[in-house]
Amino acid sequence: MKPRSSATPRVALYARVSTTNKGQDVGLQLDELRQAAAQRGWVVSEENVYVDDGVSGAKDRRPQLDRMVRDAGAGKFDLIAVFKLDRLARSLRHLLTLSDDLSSWGVGLVSLHDTGIDTTSASGRLLFQILGAFAEFERAIIRERVIAGVRRAQAAGKHCGRPRVDMELRPAAAMLKEGRGLREVAAILGVSRSTLRRRLQEMGCWPAAETRPGEQAA
């Protein structure tokens, strides 16, 4: 469906930064969006300004994004303007879902810093999908590099993930042989039951030779 025709389009502005106090300022995005709106004769009301501050773009659900989508479906504006495409979404699936929904409601999408992104035109819609594909590809490459780095570290004997809990297992083994339960022993040692069980299993001390009645060995 084509965007709603309007001599003076009602425009919503969307801005987002993933972190705060780290050199990112959502105000810079809004300043440029407002300037573009003034230059193009767009009508922007304050109720149609949506800001997700400190929210990751990897999340499909965001408070202000969700509100904007609801308002788009309710016909409160004709066009959405964003500073850059990755402010709106980071995955192709999410971008295409948003694009399809907006199109069905007759709402267009314009990105100031992605040349040609204007879903009110056929060429703009095509470029929108192409750029979305590249954004998702870049994200997948980064994820693959991280996974490869973790595997290399693990192969080199480095621990990845939560810090390993060091403990003396002989007292634990002795208490278990006395008939104390795993939960009780873990509480005495000040560690979680799952951590104690895992360390005992690594040392070949679990299942214990003797356990209290009802104590599970796994």
**Strand bridging mode 79-82 / 108-111:** parallel
Burial (CB count within 10 angstroms: exposed 0-12, middle 13-18, buried 19+), residue 5: exposed
For residue 18, indicate whether it is catalytic: yes
Q: Residue 165, SS3? A: coil
Q: Where are the alpha helices (DSSP H) in the chain?
A: 26-40, 63-73, 85-88, 92-104, 122-155, 169-177, 182-189, 193-202
Partners of 110 in the β-ladder? 81, 118
Catalytically annotated residue among 18, 91, 103, 121? 18
- The first and second tokens of residue 166, run together, are 């060091």
Please answer whether residues 133 and 103 qualify as being in contact, where contact means their C-beta atoms are separated by less than 8 angstroms.
Answer: no
Which residues carry out catalysis?
Answer: 18
